[in-house]
Chains A and B, each alone.
Chain A
Amino acid sequence: DSGVTQTPKHLITATGQRVTLRCSPRSGDLSVYWYQQSLDQGLQFLIQYYNGEERAKGNILERFSAQQFPDLHSELNLSSLELGDSALYFCASSADVGVSNQPQHFGDGTRLSIL
């Protein structure tokens, strides 16, 4: 058990819809990262938050947004969903930011299926 909790585990929805994925980091971790894993794109970094502030953006679409709340949990919002958004979405957390020896601990992921 990594200590990172992601909900829900599975999500099935239709094109054009909006969903919210939730992540609770490990106790004490201030950084939260979101990754997307799809068959054609592999594992891609989406966005990082540290103590409520956005710190880095990767290949995140404009239809996607995220935030980190004062209690440090994070939400990834995906809107106007398309078939190509079907993927496994991981949240990871680490203790610090900019100190890259801190390993990232991953949640079990949310599998999103767009019908």
Chain B
Amino acid sequence: AQTVTQSQPEMSVQEAETVTLSCTYDTSENNYYLFWYKQPPSRQMILVIRQEAYKQQNATENRFSVNFQKAAKSFSLKISDSQLGDTAMYFCAPSVNTGANSKLTFGKGITLSVRP
């Protein structure tokens, strides 16, 4: 079974600054993928970024990047040049390839507030 820990329930950042959201996970599998989803006040679930566990290079999507440390089972999300629209709850979610299914296991989420 997989477990996901997001130990910071709430974070706040000034607009235009950088913030890092932490996530650790536990899995016995070697082949998996990691995702960050955001959930703004509208309650939609929006994919932010994904990382293949077999790749050493950290994924980047515009202002969003990850710091993936496979041995430590750590998968943090860095948001650069924070914008008011980044205010949301952020969920870390690994997806393990079992060959039969690929369900996501979500952490409890981090509520990020971007201050003007």
Q: Do A and B bind each other?
A: yes
The answer to the question of A55 belonging to the interface, with a C-beta cut-off of 8 Å to chain B, is yes
Give the interface size class of chain B: 20 to 34
Which stretch in A14-22, A68-76, A77-85, A101-109 binds the other chain? Answer: A101-109
Count of CB-CB pairs between chains A and B under 8 Å: 72
Shortest CB–CB separation between residue B57 and chain A, in angstroms?
15
The answer to the question of A43 belonging to the interface, with a C-beta cut-off of 8 Å to chain B, is yes
The answer to the question of A28 belonging to the interface, with a C-beta cut-off of 8 Å to chain B, is no
Most chain A CB neighbours (cut-off 10 Å) among B47, B52, B103? B103
| Contact assessment for A100 and B95 in the assembled complex, using a CB-CB cutoff below 8 Å | yes
Nearest first, the 6 closest Cβ-Cβ pairs linking A and B are: A56-B101, A100-B102, A106-B45, A100-B95, A43-B106, A100-B97
The contact sample of 29 A-B pairs, CB cut-off 8 A, is A2-B44, A2-B46, A31-B102, A35-B104, A42-B106, A42-B107, A42-B109, A43-B106, A43-B109, A44-B106, A45-B104, A48-B101, A50-B101, A55-B100, A56-B103, A92-B45, A96-B102, A97-B101, A98-B97, A98-B98, A98-B102, A99-B97, A99-B102, A100-B33, A101-B33, A104-B47, A104-B104, A106-B45, A109-B45
